[in-house]
């Protein structure tokens, strides 16, 4: 990623007197800007390091959790949670009103702004908890289409999970302040501890004791509560309620538009679950939901850390289009070089992944997973264009784009409806291709980036993806012919994919990818001891790319 350049502070001249362009304190404005850039880069790098460590730990734990729970619970349980999640996410975008993004994006944030954000989040969270309890019986009627939706179970699940609104209202301001101040080390530790205690502790124990779908509910609420407690202990912001409109106005001005954008994104993301749940019932939705999770989880883990760091970083560069454009192109180039190969590799290894991680009862998910692997990487890659729009407050363009995307994906769902779940997955792929084209038009307008430049940044990832998928396919074809155990084949696929990706990324990269890796190494500034073996290796590696 093209992080802000680390400006080297000048050596002071003891003979020098105050010169033009130097403040009375003796610091040049450009020196101060360099120090600010260096501080931003340092925080960004620290955030990436800690976030990456947390992401890897959470990825390993979540894979284990998913594997265990898939064997303890039936597909209907996950379908029930998926339907409840759609209903609750519908309200979540209005329960926050975009205040979290407004706190991060606002350049000058006062204590009154913080109190206003906390007051709004808390009261809105409490209101939507009550609404979830009262409206759950009516909301679930949408899914009741005579296709096996268990109303008697989903209604109480929605009502209890509605407590997450008030819990999120208590925690959102604290977690957002940690992100704004780029305190990702503390945030990563809190998230990891809360996940271990809630999902690996409460969730698995309850499932083993026979709580069924409620084990998923209790795990989710426990994590939300622990995150709220941990975030506040670190952030310690003012919790006195505040009702002065002047403190709310700048937050709502940005946050209200952001809330509309987030709601439209929720509609586009959730259309699959909404339509599948209504058309086929909770069993088929559970099949689709697990396939979606298996491809979305690795992508989420790869991008969640970067996205958390990128938004506050982009917001601090919002007035410098040239620098923001360079960072955006670098981010997409590096992300695509990883995300696309990983997804194409998952598509090839889908049979082994499904059968090993989930079991024989999930075999219907295999073709769905393979098709989703074509569209989901595009969704995560275009996420960075969306963050640019957020940082630049170009929200009107984002609203129009999401409306068009929703129309496209609905049309595709209708055209491919006879193909069942595979048709829904194919519709996602076509719609994501359309979203890529739409965002390129927006970036042409917002950052003045030429279409040719925007298309070129996908080439390293696309080429790496084809080569990685070919390598995994060759190994899979040979090993499947010998009828080896599935676990052995999957392990060989993972090793082959990792080796191939590292080889094509670092040993034989395309020129564009080589340039971006070189910029990362030069700007991160690895401080190594060149007298040690590993220090010499890293130094030679840096010279190769820089």
- pLDDT, residue 50, reads 66
Q: Is the pLDDT of residue 366 over 90?
A: yes
Q: What is the pLDDT of residue 496?
A: 96
DSSP string computed for 244-277: -HHHHHHHHHHHHHHHHHHHHHHHHHHHHHHHHH
Helices marked H in 29-74: 29-72
Burial 378-407 (b: 16+ CB within 10 A, else e): bbbbbbbbbbbbbbbebbebbbebbeebbe
Query: Cα separation of 370 and 251, whole Å?
Result: 42
Tokens of 85: 């999640």
Whether residue 51 sits in one domain with residue 193: yes
Please indicate, yes or no, whether residues 353 and 475 belong to a single structural domain of this protein: yes
Burial class (CB within 10 angstroms; exposed 0-12, middle 13-18, buried 19+) of 532? exposed
Structure tokens at 357: 């991680």
Nearest to 102 by CA among 117, 87, 92: 117
Top pLDDT among 539 and 352 is at: 352
pLDDT band at 383 (very low <50, low <70, confident <90, very high): confident
Instruction: Look at residue 438 and tell me whether its pLDDT is greater than 80.
Output: yes
Cα–Cα distance, 546 to 498 (Å, whole number): 24
For residue 304, pLDDT over 80 is answered with: no
Residues 264, 142 within the same domain: yes
Q: How many domains does the chain have?
A: 2
226 and 360 belong to one structural domain: no
Residue 546 placed within a domain:
no
In this prediction, residue 340 carries a pLDDT of 94
Same domain, 254 and 134: yes
Is 472 a domain residue? yes
* Weakest mean pLDDT among 54-58, 96-100, 539-543: 539-543
In a domain, 32, yes or no: no
Query: Does residue 446 lie in a domain region?
Result: yes
Given this model, what pLDDT does residue 20 score? 38
Alpha-carbon distance of 2 to 522, in angstroms, equals: 10
Mean pLDDT of the chain: 79
- What residue numbers bound the domain in which 342 lies? 318-509
Query: What pLDDT band is residue 166 in, cutting at 50, 70 and 90?
Result: very high
* Higher-pLDDT residue of 294, 300: 294
Which token pair is 97? 């009103």
Residue 355 and residue 452 share a domain? yes
In tens, the pLDDT along 477-534 reads 999 999 899 999 999 999 999 999 999 888 777 777 777 776 665 554 444 455 555 4
Domain identity same for 266 and 413: no
Longest Cα–Cα distance of the chain, Å, equals: 87
Average pLDDT of the residues in 45-71: 74
Nearest to 365 by CA among 482, 435, 471, 276: 276
Please identify, among 252, 280, 308, the residue that sits at the C-terminal boundary of a domain: 280
Determine the average pLDDT of the residues in 113-129. 89
Cα–Cα distance between 288 and 368 in angstroms, integer?
7
Q: Is residue 206 part of a domain?
A: yes
Listed ranges 55-59, 112-116, 338-342, 532-536; the one with the highest mean pLDDT: 338-342
pLDDT at 346 over 90: yes
Please state, for a pLDDT cut of 90, what percent of the chain lies above it. 26
């Amino acid at each position: 990623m093209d992080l802000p350049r680390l400006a080297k502070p000048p050596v002071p001249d003891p003979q020098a007197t105050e010169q033009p362009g130097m403040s009375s304190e003796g610091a040049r404005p450009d020196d101060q800007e360099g120090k600010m850039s260096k501080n931003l880069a340092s925080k960004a790098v620290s955030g990436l390091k800690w976030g990456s460590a947390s992401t890897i730990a959470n990825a390993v734990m979540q894979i284990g959790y998913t594997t265990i729970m898939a064997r303890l619970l039936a597909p209907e349980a996950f379908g029930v949670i998926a339907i409840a999640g759609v209903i609750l996410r519908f309200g979540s975008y209005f329960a926050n009103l975009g205040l979290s993004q407004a706190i991060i994006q606002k350049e000058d944030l006062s204590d009154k702004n913080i109190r206003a954000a906390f007051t709004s989040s808390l009261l809105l969270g409490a209101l939507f908890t009550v609404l979830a309890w009262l409206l759950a019986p009516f909301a679930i009627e949408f899914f009741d289409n005579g296709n096996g939706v268990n109303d008697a179970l989903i209604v109480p699940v929605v009502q209890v999970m509605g407590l997450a609104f008030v819990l999120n209202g208590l925690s959102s301001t604290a977690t957002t302040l940690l992100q704004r101040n780029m305190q990702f080390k503390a945030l990563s530790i809190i998230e990891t501890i809360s996940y271990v205690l809630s999902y690996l502790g409460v969730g698995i124990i309850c499932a083993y004791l026979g709580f069924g779908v409620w084990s998923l509910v209790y795990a989710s609420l426990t994590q939300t509560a622990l995150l709220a407690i941990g975030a506040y202990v670190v952030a310690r912001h003012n919790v006195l309620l505040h009702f002065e409109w002047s403190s709310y106005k700048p937050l709502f001005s940005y946050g209200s538009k952001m809330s509309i954008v987030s709601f439209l994104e929720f509609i586009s993301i959730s259309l699959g679950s909404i339509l599948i749940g209504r058309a086929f019932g909770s069993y088929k939705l559970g099949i689709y939901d697990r396939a979606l999770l298996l491809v979305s989880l690795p992508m989420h883990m790869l991008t969640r850390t970067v996205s958390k760091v990128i938004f506050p970083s982009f917001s601090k560069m919002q007035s410098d289009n040239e620098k923001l454009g360079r960072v955006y192109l670098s981010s997409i180039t590096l992300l695509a070089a990883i995300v696309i190969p990983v997804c194409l590799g998952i598509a090839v290894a889908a049979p082994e992944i499904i059968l090993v991680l989930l079991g024989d009862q999930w075999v219907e998910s295999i073709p769905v997973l393979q098709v989703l692997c074509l569209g989901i990487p595009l969704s995560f890659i275009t996420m960075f264009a969306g963050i640019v729009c957020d940082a630049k407050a170009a929200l009107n363009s984002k609203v129009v784009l999401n409306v068009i995307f929703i129309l496209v994906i609905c049309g595709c769902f209708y055209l491919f409806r006879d193909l069942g779940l595979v048709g829904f997955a194919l519709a996602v792929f076509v719609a994501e291709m359309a979203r890529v084209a739409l965002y390129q038009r927006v970036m042409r307008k917002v950052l003045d980036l030429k279409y040719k430049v925007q298309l070129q940044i996908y080439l390293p990832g696309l080429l790496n993806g084809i080569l990685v998928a070919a390598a995994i396919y060759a190994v899979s074809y040979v090993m499947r012919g010998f009828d080896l155990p599935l676990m052995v084949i999957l392990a060989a696929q993972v090793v082959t994919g990792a080796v191939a990706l590292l080889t094509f990324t670092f040993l034989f990269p395309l020129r564009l990818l080589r340039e971006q890796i070189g910029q990362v190494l030069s700007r991160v500034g690895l401080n190594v001891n060149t007298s040690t073996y590993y220090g010499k290796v890293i130094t030679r590696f840096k010279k190769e790319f820089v």
